[in-house]
């Protein structure tokens, strides 16, 4: 008898990002699907990595992350959010933001625990909950502005609610939490045992004068929060897969128990380079302005098409409605767009467990101007 795998993720297949990227390559499409820049990262930062390797920083570093990097992050957090973070007990460096999210869930979710997830949701959230025996409680964001219905959240809270997952700025919609959202959240979790997992990988990519409402700003929220970040989104190096998690010491202790047996430690020379580079505040403080210009440039180019832009206040992404163009499903439309017009986006229905379809597609604008212009030119004839 051959061994049989009783799948822990029986309903999970190949991600939409892989599917669409393969299709884009096959049809030589302009790929505005997967979220990564097509322009170079800082030469100064890559030079620091090279220097670190040449200087022998090539063996294991501390399981929690290089001490000088955690100290630099603590100073950064204090400067941005007026929050004192202990670099020894409250910060762990991880191989990417998605890993940090998985580890936080694994640290606290037990079979039968409920986790509130807002949809459309980044595609790792629900599988990460499910594989830990948790139960995703799915709440749709209100289309077309993708805001949270906090009265519905209150209705969904139960004695089994263990965690609320947040993502701001939001992937895939580009929505951001407001001060009113924070007020509502504080009211809901006050005097409860509910954890918060806050995905803030796009913390610096925020537009139109909006403020990033990090859980780190609010002591009562931070005391129950795992807050996850990504160096890749900050320094245009998504392939480095390096991130970090910030949490109170008691929670971080449990996080590190899981972390030490999955990865133990992360890329040493890259951490060494980042530890020095983080002091260059302009590198991340200018990101919002740079990406806002790219969002606006794509919008300007797309005015000649029949797509309708939906508001994006942050992230790499903007959603576009094609309701004036076609009645096709989002999946069919995205495939046809790639095959017949040579432009690849991501159907937003793939970010819903039930495939909810609003005739909306996600485009990534973290690209060179020429890339955005070529995509829009190809869509004029649609």
Q: In angstroms, how far is CA 281 from the centroid of its own chain?
A: 21
55-86 pLDDT tens trace: 999 999 999 999 999 999 999 999 999 999 99
Matching residue, tokens 């949701």: 121
Domains 16-35+285-379 and 43-280 share a fold: no
Residue 76, classed as helix, strand or coil, is helix
In this prediction, residue 45 carries a pLDDT of: 98
Q: Which residues of the chain have pLDDT under 70?
A: none
Q: Which residue bears the tokens 């609003």?
A: 358
Query: Which CATH fold would you assign to the domain 43-280?
Result: 3.40.640
How far apart CA 306 and CA 123 sit, in angstroms, is 28
The pLDDT of residue 260 is 97
φ, ψ for residue 46 (rounded to 5)?
Answer: -65, -35
pTM of this structure: 0.97
If residue 92 lies in a helix (H) or strand (E), which one and from where to where? strand 91-94
Residue 98: predicted pLDDT: 97
Fold of 16-35+285-379: 3.90.1150
Domain chopping of the chain, boundaries: 16-35+285-379, 43-280
């Amino acid at each position: 008898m051959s061994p049989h795998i009783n799948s822990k993720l029986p309903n999970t297949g190949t991600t939409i990002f892989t599917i669409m990227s393969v299709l884009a390559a096959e049809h030589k499409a302009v790929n505005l699907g997967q979220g990564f820049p097509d322009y170079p990262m800082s030469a100064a930062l890559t030079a620091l990595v090279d220097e670190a390797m040449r200087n022998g920083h090539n063996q294991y570093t501390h399981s929690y992350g290089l001490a000088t990097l955690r100290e630099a992050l603590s100073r950064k957090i204090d400067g941005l959010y007026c929050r004192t973070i202990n670099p020894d007990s409250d910060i762990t460096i991880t191989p990417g933001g998605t890993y940090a999210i998985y580890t936080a869930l694994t640290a606290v979710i037990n079979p039968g625990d409920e986790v509130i997830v807002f949809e459309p949701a980044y595609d790792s959230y629900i599988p990460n909950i499910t594989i830990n025996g948790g139960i995703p409680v799915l709440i749709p964001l209100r289309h077309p502005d993708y805001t949270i219905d906090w009265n519905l959240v209150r209705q969904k809270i139960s004695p089994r609610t263990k965690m609320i997952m947040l993502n701001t700025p939001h992937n895939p919609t580009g929505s951001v939490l407001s001060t009113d959202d924070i007020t509502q959240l504080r009211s809901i979790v006050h005097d409860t045992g509910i954890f918060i997992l806050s995905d803030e990988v796009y913390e610096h990519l925020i537009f139109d004068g909006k403020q990033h409402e990090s859980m780190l700003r609010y002591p009562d929220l931070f005391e129950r929060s795992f807050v996850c970040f990504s160096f890749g989104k900050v320094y245009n190096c998504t392939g480095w897969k390096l991130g970090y998690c910030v949490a109170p010491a008691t929670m971080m202790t449990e996080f590190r128990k899981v972390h030490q047996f999955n990865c133990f430690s992360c890329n040493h020379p890259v951490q060494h380079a980042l530890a020095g580079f983080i002091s260059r505040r302009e590198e991340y403080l200018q990101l919002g302005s740079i990406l806002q210009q790219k969002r606006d440039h794509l919008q300007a180019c797309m005015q000649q098409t029949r797509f309708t832009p939906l508001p994006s206040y942050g992230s790499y992404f903007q959603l576009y409605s094609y309701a004036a163009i076609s009645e096709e499903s989002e999946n069919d439309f995205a495939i046809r767009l790639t095959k017949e017009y040579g432009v690849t986006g991501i159907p937003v229905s793939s970010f819903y467990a039930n495939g909810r379809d609003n005739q909306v597609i996600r485009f990534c604008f973290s690209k060179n101007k020429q890339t955005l212009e070529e995509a829009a030119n190809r869509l004029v004839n649609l």
